[in-house]
Structure 1
Amino acid sequence: MTRHRWLPRPGLVIFLALIWLMLVNSVSLGQVVLGLFLGWAIAVLCKDFLIHIPRVRKPLKLCWFTLYVLWEIVVANLNVARLVLGPQRKLNPAFVEVPMAIQDEFLLSVLASIISLTPGTVSAGLTPDHKIILLHGIDVRDSQALIAEIKERYEAPLMEIFECSPT
């Protein structure tokens, strides 16, 4: 039997063991062994349900991208508050289809989460072939500009940070 069958995600095992130690608030040898066993058992039992996470090529850029996304969320909150508290006749809600260059399931879910976490936009669907994300914007003046913004601000950095192949 291969290592991947009996130890599918070593990082997950360690992470779950650390969570266990925090939950029991004890770092005794017995609790460490029990935490490692539980982490291993969960990883083995759930291995068929876990998706592949691409390797991070640029960890420092990932840190900066995370901070950038958090900043974008704050700015978007302020913009949405301004839009919502202002006259409603200025709103132009619309659905926009954004073509995707990435096909990796994990990265698509990260991108959809970023879109949904940023106030003013919500990812509403993904085509079965993973080539188009449908998103809803609260104020879409120019759909092409929104598409370019999503691709430039979020999709391109994700493709640069993680090892993935474009379509």
Structure 2
Amino acid sequence: MIKRLLPSPLLTAALIAMWLVLNRSLSPGQIILAVVLGVAAPALLAPLRPARPRIRHPLTLARLILRVGRDVIESNLDVFRTLLASRVRPPHSRFVLVPLQLRDPNALAALAVITTVVPGTVWCELARDGSALLLHAWNVPDEQAFVTHFKQCYELPLMEIFES
């Protein structure tokens, strides 16, 4: 019963605190409103939350985190070099369609975060059936090599972490 009423106690506490801070008032009415909002919102929205992920291969997760960190640094340098040389050689910016085998919602969310963090790539659209992802990439001279790199470095580890 208590888990149904308070599915996310930390979220409830955060909402109550945020409401009181934003309203800058500790009046009884604001406290009651904050508690009602803090309890009701997580309880009503709990069915919309995806299932808790089960990390099956923590070592693969660690390798993925290191890979993303390395790619962030390399992509920053690549964007910088491309900007410096843009008068001589303009970047090959384009939209790239990446076919996906990944289906887990948590893994797709992680892929969206990775795509957003790595400079030079923007997540544009996921196909309704989840079979393809449209990205905009800053500098892609070879589209097939980009797709292969993306799938090998990000999609395959995420499939191993969340789906296998």
| TM-score tier after normalising by the smaller chain length | 0.7 to 0.9
Matched to 1:101, the amino acid is Q
Unaligned runs of 5+ in 1: 24-37
Q: What displacement does 1:16 show?
A: 4.1
**2-structure distance, mates of 1:76, 1:138:** 10
Q: CA RMSD in A?
A: 3.0
**1-structure distance, mates of 2:73, 2:62:** 17
Instruction: Say whether 1:138 aligns with 2:138.
Output: yes
User: Contact 2:12 / 2:42 at 8 angstroms: preserved in 1?
Assistant: no
Query: What's the counterpart of residue 116 of structure 1?
Result: 116
**2-structure distance, mates of 1:145, 1:92:** 13
**1-structure distance, mates of 2:6, 2:125:** 30
Query: Structure 1 vs Structure 2: percent identity of aligned residues?
Result: 37
User: Contact 1:91 / 1:139 at 8 angstroms: preserved in 2?
Assistant: yes
Matched to 1:83, the amino acid is T
Unaligned runs of 5+ in 2: 19-36
- 1:15-54 equivalences under 5 Å are 15-16=10-11, 43-54=42-53
TM-score w.r.t. length of structure 1: 0.72
Change (3 A) 1:8 1:114: farther
How many pairs were matched up? 147
Query: What's the counterpart of residue 153 of structure 2?
Result: 153
User: Contact 1:8 / 1:47 at 8 angstroms: preserved in 2?
Assistant: no
Q: What are the superposed Cα offsets for residues 15-60 of structure 1, whole Å, 9 maximum, x if unpaired?
A: 548969xx9xxxxxxxxxxxxxx98765423202212243110123
